[in-house]
Amino acid sequence: MTPETLKYAIIMLAAGVGVPVLAALNAQLGARIGSPAAAAAVIFLIGSVIAALVAFLLQHGSAFGLVASQPRHLFLAGVLIAFYLLSISWIAPRFGVGNAVMFVLLGQILAISVIDHFGLFGARLRPLDLARSAGIVLMAVGVVLAQRPPH
C-alpha cells in the first residue's frame, strides 16, 4: 500500500466512522425537536456552509459558476443524500442506529458491486470475479450476523 493509498484509506475510514455517529446525533436532534425532517434540514444547512467555506478556502469558489452547465442527472446525488439523511433520522430511533446503519452498509456493498462491475457513473471498472464475490458475500453475512439479537 502506497502512502497516498494509506492516506485515502484512513480518511475514508474516518468518514465511515462518521456515518453511524451522524445517524445517532441527527436521530437524537430529530427526536428532541419533534421533527426528523427539520433536524435533517439543519444538518444540511451546517454541512452546506462548511462545504462552501472549504471550497472558497481551497480557492475553488469559481467552480460554482460551472454548476449550471452540468448534466442534470448528476444532481440526483443531492436527492440521494437527502433520502439517506431523512430516512436514517426517522428510522434509527425506531429500528436502532445499529440496525439502520448495518442495512445501509449492506445496500452500499450491493450497490458498489454493481457500480464497479459495470464501471457505472465513471467508476473504475472492477469486474466481479469469484474472489470478490466471495468477499462481498462474507461482508453481507457479517452485517447480518453483527445485528443478530443476543441469545
The parent domain of residue 114 ranges over 3-146
Residue whose cell numbers read 449550471:
68
- Residue 11 domain flag: yes
pLDDT value at 123 more than 80: yes
* pTM listed for this prediction: 0.78
Q: In whole angstroms, what separates CA 99 from the centre of its chain?
A: 15
- Which is more confident, 148 or 77? 77
Per the domain annotation, does 132 fall within a domain? yes
Are the C-beta atoms of residues 120 and 52 closer than 8 Å to each other? no
pLDDT tens digits, 34-78:
999 999 999 999 999 999 999 999 999 899 999 999 999 999 999
Residue 151: inside a domain: no
Q: Is residue 17, in this structure, part of any structural domain at all?
A: yes
Q: Percentage of the chain with pLDDT > 90?
A: 60
Number of domains in the chain: 1
Residue 102 pLDDT greater than 80, yes or no: yes
**Confidence class for position 119, pLDDT limits 50, 70, 90:** very high
Q: Which long-range CB contacts under 8 A does 19-23 form with residues at least 24 apart? A: 19/101, 19/104, 20/97, 20/98, 20/101, 22/85, 22/88, 23/88, 23/89, 23/92, 23/97, 23/100, 23/101
122 within some domain: yes
Q: Is residue 76 part of a domain?
A: yes
C-alpha cell of residue 72: 442534470
Is 93 among the domain residues? yes
| Residue 137 located in a structural domain | yes
Predicted local distance difference test score (pLDDT) of residue 105 = 85
Average pLDDT over residues 106-125: 91
